[in-house]
A and B are shown apart, each in its own frame.
Chain A
């Protein structure tokens, strides 16, 4: 823990960096998610596995499966979008944090919140374009998905991926997921990959590390 001298130094350092905007960590390799919107059956096993792993009460949802339904008979459709934290290349949450609780790992680009440093100002929650940071009203702090870093460090996949019975959710190096060279069950060889689906915030804002196999009604442009 920082002693008082360090705290004074932190303030000084902040002053010295006046008007310097934040420069994101460029990870050695960026991990990201892939989700197949079409084959997902919406069982929410991933959500529950996540809640279980993180001991979350009702309310905060690190991961959320969204049901998108529409059309008029006979042309009806339904598909799912599944997002947690997208571990963005240039996260919007990180620069808003006044205590340095949010950080991005050099090793794999995972964005994590050290909740013990969180003062619950909720700025990260507001700034995130994808609704990832979740407010915990009981503790008055914000928490979010960290891709189960402990599992990653142990060479395994996160709980949500392990819980997915349809194998429509997976992780991998995002570059390889994007160019289709990463082997995954979430995408069939003929299926193409997109960065954004309908009604999702513009990926240009933060360059999120997620790709989708989109439903025909969920395509943008």
Chain B
């Protein structure tokens, strides 16, 4: 502890600074807006952080790091504004203009950056998920969608995300830990939803999408996914508060299959695909394929939108 005197106000100081600064970071890096933000704003304020103006130099770093907001149960009530109060750096992080050997960021391009939906320069990971033009259109990710806790001491949920008896506290269904060893997130429950492999086997398709699509797309029907997904298969989809289902369908109908493929194989960091829930759809076949036998029929309860 650096100074015992500042403790009582320490944890809240950054918040006020954020408020003074107004807009945070590139784009509109505030709460991602929309229905969810409005909803969280109405919740009774269970804020472990008090917003008081002050001198940021006086903030006790260790105390802030251990602020209850990082842990269960307070993290479940935290809004993006609460987090950004201290973590403005998240919106400001920027890659280098050039690598130490002189490779210019502007001259480089990753394979997934060739998707039709990709816009803008090399940017930060958080910005891409919260403030990029495409992200703002199709999704609504809050800090706590990904961050369900953190542990500064051991980077293990057993220290800070357990109840009195030592059982892991988790909001993820399937009893997945809130975050995994050495991580600040649980990749299987977060990233994998949008960065898994193209689930060709579930579709009875063989091969890779860049080959398959050739027979399915034409200039007037540039979205090959919709050949099958417009009125045949899995028509109930994306009804969760971290996505924008209507915008996704609109963009997908007007644009190319990259809109869909991006989240379902076009940015695949992982070799498997997320075991998506399998919602009933109109006129679905009665027979359940083997791979779908253990699948839930509903999205995770905590993400259900009210309209459903």
Minimal beta-carbon separation of A161 from chain B (angstroms): 19
Give the interface segment out of A64-72, A148-156, A165-173, A184-192. A64-72
What's the tally of chain A residues with a CB closer than 8 Å to chain B? Answer: 61
Q: Considering residues A1, A15, A121, A200, which has the most beta carbons from chain B within 10 angstroms of its beta carbon?
A: A121
Closest to B198 in A: A21
B242 within 8 A of A: no
Considering the complex, which residues of chain A in the window 34-79 have a beta carbon less than 8 Å from any beta carbon of chain B? 64, 66-72
- Asked whether B85 is an interface residue with its Cβ less than 8 Å from the other chain, the reply is no
Q: Is the CB of B271 within 8 A of A1?
A: no
Q: A121-B125, A200-B181 are in contact. Are A14 and B114 (CB under 8 A)?
A: yes
Of the listed stretches B74-82, B187-195, B233-241, name the one at the interface; the rest are far from the partner chain: B187-195
Contact A14 B166 (CB under 8 A): no
* Cβ contact within 8 Å between B177 and A121: no
Task: Find A20's partner among B123, B210, B271 (CB 8 Å cutoff).
Answer: B210
Q: How long is the Cα–Cα vector from A2 to B258 in the complex, in angstroms?
A: 31
Q: Determine whether the beta carbon of A119 is less than 8 Å from that of B105.
A: yes
Contact B111 A22 (CB under 8 A): yes
Q: Which of B102, B103, B270 contacts A206 (CB 8 A)?
A: B270
Tell whether, in the assembled complex, residue B182 and residue A83 are in contact, meaning their CB atoms are under 8 Å apart. yes
Contacts of B209 in A (CB 8 A): 19
Q: How many pairs of residues, A versus B, come closer than 8 Å at their CB atoms?
A: 177
Q: Which of A18, A70, A98 is within 8 Å of B122, CB to CB?
A: A98
Chain A interface residues (CB < 8 Å from chain B)? 1-2, 7, 10-11, 14-15, 17-22, 64, 66-72, 81, 83, 90, 92-93, 95-101, 115-123, 126-127, 129-132, 139-141, 197-202, 204-207
Q: How far is the CA of A81 from the CA of B159 in the complex (A)?
A: 14
Given contacts A141-B96, A205-B192, contact A121 B182 (CB under 8 A): no
Some 10 contacts from A to B, beta carbons below 8 A apart, are A20-B208, A64-B155, A64-B182, A83-B182, A116-B101, A119-B122, A126-B191, A131-B183, A201-B180, A205-B192
Say how far A96's CB is from chain B's closest CB, in angstroms: 6
List residues 131-168 of chain B with CB under 8 A from any CB of chain A: 154-158, 162, 165-166, 168
Q: Is the CB of A119 within 8 A of B98?
A: yes
Q: Mark B90-133, 1 if CB is under 8 A from A, else 0.
A: 00010111111111010111111111000000111100000000
Contact of B109 among A98, A116, A139, A140 (CB under 8 A): A98
Q: For the complex, give the distance between the alpha carbons of A127 and B197 in Å.
A: 14
> Beyond A131-B181, A139-B100, A205-B187, is A15–B114 a contact (Cβ under 8 Å)?
yes
The reply to whether A118 and B99 contact each other, CB–CB distance below 8 Å, is yes
Taking the closest CB of chain B, its distance from the CB of A55, in whole angstroms, is: 15
Selected contact of A18 from candidates B107, B114, B154, B187, CB within 8 Å: B114
Q: Contact: B192 with A199, CB < 8 Å?
A: no
Residues from chain B with Cβ under 8 Å of A123 in the complex:
125
Cα–Cα, bound, A207→B165 (Å): 32
Which residues of B have CB within 8 Å of A120? Answer: 95-96
Q: Within the complex, which residue of B99, B157, B272 is in contact with A205, where a contact is CB–CB below 8 Å?
A: B272
Q: Does A127 contact B195, Cβ atoms closer than 8 Å?
A: yes
Residue-wise, chain B 223-253 has the 8 Å CB interface mask toward A (1 for contact) of: 0000000000000000000000000000000
The answer to whether residues A204 and B154 also contact, given A116-B100, A119-B105, A123-B125 and a CB cut-off of 8 A, is no
> How far is the CB of A213 from the nearest CB of chain B, in Å?
16
CA distance A1 to B101 in the complex (A): 8
In the docked arrangement, what's the CA distance between A210 and B97, Å?
35
Q: Give CA–CA (A30, B156) in the complex, Å.
A: 28
Chain A residues with Cβ below 8 Å from B156 are: 66, 68, 81, 199
Residues of A within 8 A of B110 (CB): 14, 95-98
